[in-house]
Structure 1
């Protein structure tokens, strides 16, 4: 008999699964498409016309590898952020950067602290490199900075992760609270501050960037407000020694030439970003109206999605989710109790939200009668 691949003991112990079941997978399983794609927190408003033009122009040069240093993009980001380009690392979305960071810092048995039910792709990377995940609960549907820091100190964590604004709840802390968290990071621990949704948050959400602060690395993306989720462009801001260390292990040709060109154009088109931000504000209000029309409450959101409290427990919310999917509406929900009493609905254009509004009453009725 031919022997199969000789996996490492760690790899052998891991499930062959991914953190999210994508809408395309669900559509293949169902045999037909969704009519409203409101579950992945993509920007249904798409990228700016200037971005599409830049990417189309770059497509003719796809025979070339992308710039391994993402030089033009890092220069543009440095100018936009007011930091040196040596403090910026570009990677294959925040997901790719999280994988590199965990590989750099987490060995077998090293402890990492996060919130129970927070962004699962981070947990996926920690498991993949043999780290031990330690969790703390949310507090009032917010991640709890004080509890995260206390637990990191207690277990001597290598990393402590928080998203601000938060995914999956959409809640947020102000800059002063986040700066206090940075200031409280224990020696030997690195704070991973995921700011993927920052462009949707109120002014005063993000603390000022100190690029030389070794206690924190900040991660941002072009996947959300800039409408480029499929292009996979994220970036990290951190102290130079840590940013330099990424070169030890990163995929040096991981960034496509077309993606780099699109991100440079997106950053230059701040007028379009402002248009998207305005549309997101309107759509969040529409989702809240739809929820209220059905006797449901929503959580305040600083993201491009809204968490709707289904008014019962996680089992009921899962039935609502299933009934919406059966009616061709793709949404998602938090994984951990008590946050799993909610469903999470991404903003969309009026037609998408009208489809959601039409499906929700029947989905709720079917869930209640199940």
Structure 2
């Protein structure tokens, strides 16, 4: 007996997991991490109003979710002062990126992104048969002018930009992004991933313009809102573009508990402000810990800090391994030019105390 063959696109893909989850690492290690500082989750958690809404919703989880996510879309639309038809909800930004590729890519389509930027986008591009054109970072941030020039050269239908950037935490200002949008080549769509916009200084995000069909803005409840496990993200854009998502999305792919939790979280902006303040304080402490150990770090607008280990990628990998061995989960970039950094997510005081102790111990060990 045999099954039908995979499509040529799938058959040609290597086995790829964009991120190895901490749970898989814990299974392999045979013990849990004491500090979980690698996945850019908000350990400060969601709004108590969101928790209460989800707890109440759990008893009615026998119901399917609203396939239109109408109430959630309506509150998002009101928040951004756009029509509800200009908002689509998806399974986090990751799910929406995959749907975007479904809408705009055919086998061989060129797509422009940054070498070392969020790798899951590349995963979706390749799965849809697209060809990735990766531009190196410049000064540890995405070189958007060169991305645009590359898109013009290869006639790319999509350009991916994350602002603030993952994994470095660097950013462009709102004025910069607006100027870049004005320079987009015709028939090119800017995929603007703003997962970390809530933790960024003002002004980082330009005003949303749903009359422009050349840009889609992607937001999430996974970061500052503390709802990573709910898997709720959304995109805002020109109406006909957003409505096309209905042709390809999984209409029952959003869980009802997550819908209601995100609805309550968005309405509790006071809690969000407090969480963002805690994230900013945590960033400052991570930078101080790095400095106390003779290391430097990049200014960050995200919920993590990129710390320069001061040598090459092999040295940074030893630091990373040492931290993991000491039960502190962190990650590191792997792209050329970025590999000498490690990346630490913001955490509670007790998490960062464990990180500080482990880092001092690891550096003493690897230097020895």
Q: Which residue in 1 is equivalent to 2:155?
A: 156
Distance 1:192 1:314 in 2: 30
Residue 362 of structure 1: SS of its match in structure 2?
Answer: helix
Q: CA contact under 8 A between 1:331 and 1:346: conserved in structure 2?
A: yes
| Corresponding residue number in structure 2 for 1:334 | 333
Which residue is equivalent to 2:168? 169
What corresponds to 2:97 in structure 1? Answer: 98
Residue of structure 2 in register with 1:36 after alignment: 35
Matched residue SS, 1:220: strand
Match of 1:131? 130
Partner secondary structure for residue 343 of structure 2: strand
Matched, 1:181 2:180: yes
Aligned equivalent of 2:276? 277
Equivalent in the alignment of 1:66: 65
The answer to whether the 8 A contact 1:332-1:345 is kept is: yes
Q: Distance in 2 between matches of 1:17 and 1:337?
A: 19
CA positional deviation for 1:5: 5.0
SS of 1:44 mapped into structure 2: coil
The reply on whether 1:239 has 2:227 as its aligned counterpart is no
Residue 15 of structure 1 deviates from its aligned partner by: 2.1
2:303 aligned partner: 304
Partner secondary structure for residue 191 of structure 2:
strand
**Where has structure 1 moved over 4 Å in runs of 4 or more?**
none
Q: Which residue in the other structure is 2:216 paired with?
A: 217
Contact 1:313-1:338 at 8 Å conserved across structures: no
- Using the TM superposition, give the Cα deviation of residue 338 of structure 1 relative to its aligned residue in structure 2, in angstroms: 1.0
2: distance between equivalents of 1:348 and 1:201?
Answer: 17
Q: SS of the residue aligned with 2:284?
A: helix
Q: CA deviation at 1:196?
A: 0.2
The more displaced of 261-270 and 333-342 is: 333-342
Distance in 2, Cα, partners of 1:334 & 1:5: 38
* Paired position in structure 2 for 1:313: 312
* Distance in 2, Cα, partners of 1:16 & 1:90: 29
Deviates more, 1:29-38 or 1:310-319: 310-319
1:60 CA drift (Å) = 1.4
TM-score, normalising length: structure 1: 0.98
Q: Does 1:12 align with 2:7?
A: no
Distance 2:229 2:211 in 1: 31
1:350 equivalenced with 2:344 (yes/no): no
Match of 2:279, SS state, is helix
Q: What residue number does 2:110 align with? A: 111
CA distance in 2, matches of 1:69, 1:183: 32
Give the equivalent residue in structure 2 for 1:53.
52
Displacement of 1:10:
1.3
Residues 141-161 of structure 1, C-alpha deviations (whole Å, 9 max, x = no match): 011110000000010001000
| Alpha-carbon separation, structure 2, partners of 1:9 and 1:79 | 44
CA RMSD of superposed structures (Å): 0.8
Give the whole-Å Cα distance in 2 for the aligned partners of 1:223 and 1:146. 29
Q: Can you list the C-alpha shifts for 1:121-158, whole angstroms capped at 9, x where unaligned? A: 00000000100000111010011110000000010001
Q: Cα deviation per residue 1:263-306 (whole Å; 9 max; x = unaligned)?
A: 00000111110110110111111001100110000100001100
Count of aligned pairs: 368
Query: Matched residues in 2 for 1:282 and 1:259: separation?
Result: 28
| Alpha-carbon distance, 1:365 to partner | 2.6
Gapped runs of 5+ residues in structure 1?
none
**Could you list the per-position Cα deviations for residues 163-185 of structure 1 after superposition, in whole angstroms to 9, with x for gaps in the alignment?**
00000000001011100111111
Whole-angstrom CA distance in 1 between matches of 2:207 and 2:25: 41
Unpaired runs of at least 5, structure 2: none
Report the Cα distance in structure 1 between the residues aligned to 2:317 and 2:127, rounded to whole angstroms: 28
What is the TM-score with the length of structure 2 in the denominator?
Answer: 0.99
Q: How far apart are residue 4 of structure 1 and its match?
A: 4.2
Alignment partner, residue 293 of structure 2: 294
SS at match of 1:339: coil
**SS in structure 2 opposite 1:161?**
strand
How far apart are residue 224 of structure 1 and its match?
A: 0.2
CA offsets per residue over residues 41-95 of structure 1, 9 Å max, x none? 0000111111110001111111111000000000100110100011101000000
